[in-house]
Amino acid sequence: MGKKIKLNYDVALCAVLSIVALIIAAVSLGFAKYGVKIPFAYGGGDDFTGIASTKLIGETGWFWYNDKIGAPFGSNAFDFSANMLMNFDMLVIRVLFLFVKDAVTVNNIRYLLVFPMCAVSAFYALRSMRINRVLSSFGAVIFSLTPYIFYRNVTHFSLSACYFVPLSVLLCFWCCERDDAYCAFKKGFFKNKKNILSILFCLLIANNGIGYYAFFTCFFLCVAALCRLFSEKKLSTLIAPAFNICLIVAFSALALAPSFIYMLDNGTNPAAVVRNTADGELYSLKIAQLFIPINGHGIPLLQKVIDIYNSSMPLINENQGAYLGIAGIAGFLISLALLIKKDYKETEHSLFVLSRMNICAVVFATVGGFCSLMSLVFHMLRGFNRISVFIMFISIAVLLMVLQNFYAEYLSKCSKPKRVTACCIAAALGVLSAAEAVPDYGSHDSAFEYYAAEYQSDKSFVEQIEAQMDENAMIYQLPYHATPEAGPQNNMNDYHLYAGYINSKTLAWSYGGTKGREGDIWNRNVASLPTEIMVQKICTAGFTGLYIDNRAYTDDQLADLREKLGSVLGTECITSENGNLSFYDMRGYISRTGITPDPASLSDMGFTLVFGHNQLYYLGESTAEADFTSIAPGTIQFGPYASLAAGSYTVRIHGEKLDAADFDVTYNGGTAAVPIENISKENSLVEYTITVDNIESAEFRTLNNSAEAVRISYIELVRN
């Protein structure tokens, strides 16, 4: 009966703590004032990919494939294996869509849910570490309000959703206990509750944190295992951590299986996600930033220190979110102090293991640490500063254990007035820690108002397009912009082109095809064509509308583009209220020219490489124009150094006065030639075929041996 009452107390406390964390977060972030229907962030960065992914799940049930982006080929997530390690987070979104249908609202709610889920997870872990209810409640609230979560917010939801970090630390705690037969492989394995829970925890950890949290958990399990091995000198102590590591690896491999299968069928795609060796150092942990707040909370001197550090020190990036807060700093300093303690009591074993885990985390993840050596051979994990959320929870656990031991050994023996005074001081520090962690009230108000205006303008504009276009119409988007991680273009941020998809219900959009795959290649090739030919190609592919993000162009570039499109399409564009977006209805042009969709053109262009005149090189006098390069007599055009797989190709060179020029194909720096077959020459088109083995650096050369200038527009290379 006593155990049942105890459990009920803890369950009730969990409920209260989750509500407290949710209210504090909602009020401090501004959701209580502005509601959840306005995007918390809407700046064209990772916030857009978050909303787009959320919408994708609501439409398709999961996030693997979507025919509303990357049109006409569609898009999938298989090339981005990290996405496969977010299955729990995706499940939360799927459940939310049972009750709410708007992607922006769901995206905001799922972020708000991180706070109560972190509180519950932290409370359970701390109570399982035998920390009393009062201290566990304090620790749960502090962890749920860690600056790391506020800093990552919806833009890095895959990281701010750190609700299983306490469970990772709890696994290590269980593995380093001396008095438990945990994970002993014997008849009663499944009778041990910890064994069953460990399997569940490993499953959850493997499907959260895009691989980082699973990797860090395995790292800490290794540290805990070595601590216990050196302490007890028994190889059997390695069974439990090894078992957990194997579970995490197995569950991660299972989650990644769809990606592996897709790549076996379609080949790998090195272009999809590019990571550099230096990234491991660039995005590693900086010890100083564990102690430097993200903002000064209105304290001029503190803000001045922060500004001086951020403006004068190198490698300032997302690692700013590593700040531990007052409670975390206290626990971290205690971890350092425990290093110089000569010995410890039997009851302090777990405390010392946690302290060593903290120090090992810093040694591994700090600038120039072991993570830099790891980056030399493994590039995909690069943001090692993200281990700071583990340091945060471990530091809280260390602090609470020390406080509990201090009370039991010293304070409990003091007089009642002293105990009351000490508890009041501790409570005041606890409130200060919580207050210091959360953002200043109203700090996000201006952002909310700006994002609301941008969102409403985009939404109204896309709804206007949707109202006039046919259901399921395909909209081609300019400029061509690779995804993911192509970077900003003028004032257009990396993912601003997702605005069309985010705010529509029935239309399909060209942006969003996976970089390096067939749809992306088709999109890039078409966008590089001269304006009139581009319009013909996209109409033949089935597009009936043309959407432009004006921010991607300078004023002169945009004026030139609009002049050309107006001349070709014979119509004017409509523009969004904020002036960021433009749209052309191409159905009048299609009707006037008699163009009909031709599915065969997709297959043709899908295996075509297109090289614009600005991608080629020239020996001699040449003059670049908008759609052509004029090459003077005696000038040679060469390039673009293409790599060709074995097979037969048709080469089409577009321009003017081409019938007066000569053509050849060379490779290896012009030292070897490829025979040209079936060449035909016209004024504006030269076409020939070639057959090659695997060659590198192929050049399609034009030699102007005539007395007049020859104009080169673009080169098509079609695999037969």
Give the model's pLDDT for residue 187: 58
Share of the chain above pLDDT 90, in %: 58
Strand ranges (DSSP E) for 409-552?
474-478, 508-509, 543-549
Based on the fold, state whether residues 620 and 511 are members of the same structural domain.
Answer: no
Q: Do 613 and 522 have their domain in common?
A: no
Residues 578 and 537 in one domain: yes
At 3 the pLDDT is: 47
Q: What is the mean pLDDT of residues 535-554?
A: 94
Residue 76: which region, alpha, beta or left (left: phi > 0; alpha: psi -120 to 50)?
beta
Residue 183 lies in a domain: no
Same domain, residue pair 479 and 557: yes
Pair (527, 598) in one structural domain: yes
Q: What is the mean pLDDT of residues 237-241?
A: 86
Structural domain boundaries enclosing 626: 609-719
| pLDDT at res. 440 | 86
Residue 87 confidence (pLDDT) above 90: yes
Rg (C-alpha) for the chain, rounded Å, is 30
Q: Is residue 21 part of a domain?
A: no
Tokens of 624: 């670049």
How many percent of the chain have pLDDT more than 70?
94
Nearest to 656 by CA among 695, 625, 632, 685: 685
Among 167-181, 413-427, 469-483, the range of highest mean pLDDT: 469-483
| Per-residue pLDDT band at 605 (split at 50, 70, 90) | very low
Q: Check whether 121 has a pLDDT greater than 80.
A: yes
694 with 658, same domain: the answer is yes
Same domain, yes or no: 615 and 598 = no
Domain count, the chain: 2
pLDDT at 345: 66
pLDDT of 433 reads: 83
Closest CA to 39 of 506, 499, 509: 499
Is residue 38's pLDDT more than 90? yes
In 528-611, which ranges are continuous DSSP H helix? Answer: 531-540, 555-569, 587-593, 599-606
Domain boundary among 604, 635, 660: 604
> CA-to-CA distance for 178 and 350, rounded, in angstroms?
9
Say yes or no: 582 and 673 in one domain.
no
**Paired residues of 585 in beta bridges:** 545
Structure token digits, residue 19: 């509500």
Average pLDDT score, the chain? 88
For the segment 515-520, the average pLDDT, to the nearest whole number, is: 82
**Residue 2 banded pLDDT, cuts 50, 70, 90:** very low
Alpha carbon distance 143, 391 (integer Å): 11
Segment 644-676, tens digit of pLDDT: 767 888 999 999 999 989 999 998 888 889 999
Element holding 422 (H helix, E strand): helix 416-437
Domain stop point among 544, 577, 604: 604
In a domain, residue 507? The reply is yes
Residue 81 lies in a domain: no
Report if residue 82 sits inside a domain.
Answer: no
pLDDT at 703 (0 to 100): 93
Give residue 602's pLDDT band: very low, low, confident or very high (50, 70, 90).
Answer: low
H/E run at residue 638: strand 636-638
- Domain membership of residue 548 (yes or no) is yes
| Banded model confidence at residue 1, pLDDT cuts 50, 70, 90 | very low
**Lookup result for tokens 């055009």:** 637
Residue 331 · residue 394 · CB < 8 Å? yes
Answer whether residue 509 shows pLDDT above 90: yes
Residue 607 scores a pLDDT above 60: no
494, 554: one domain: yes
- Residue 100 has a pLDDT of 94
- Reported as a single tens digit per residue, the pLDDT across 323-378 is 999 999 999 999 999 888 766 666 667 888 899 999 999 999 999 889 888 888 77
The CATH number given to whatever domain includes residue 632 is 2.60.120.260
| Domain final residue pick, 551, 574, 604 | 604
650: in domain: yes
Percent helix, percent strand, percent coil in the chain, to nearest 5: 55, 15, 30
Backbone angles phi, psi at 688, to 5 degrees: -155, 170
Any domain includes 465: yes
pLDDT band at 600 (very low <50, low <70, confident <90, very high): low
Overall average pLDDT of the 268-295 stretch: 85
DSSP track, 78-121:
TT-GGGGG-HHHHHHHHHHTTT---HHHHHHHHHHHHHHHHHHH
Same domain, 677 and 654: yes
**What would the mean pLDDT of 174-192 be, rounded to a whole number?**
64
Mean pLDDT of 622-642: 86
| pLDDT per residue as tens digits for the range 674-712 | 999 999 999 999 999 999 887 778 899 999 988 899 999
471 and 528 in one domain? yes
Query: Residues 6 or more apart from 57 whose CB is under 8 A from it?
Result: 63, 90, 93, 94, 97
* pLDDT on residue 5: 45
Residues 594 and 624 in one domain: no
**What is the pLDDT averaged over residues 383-404?**
94
Residue 207 is which amino acid? N
Question: What pLDDT was estimated at residue 688?
Answer: 94
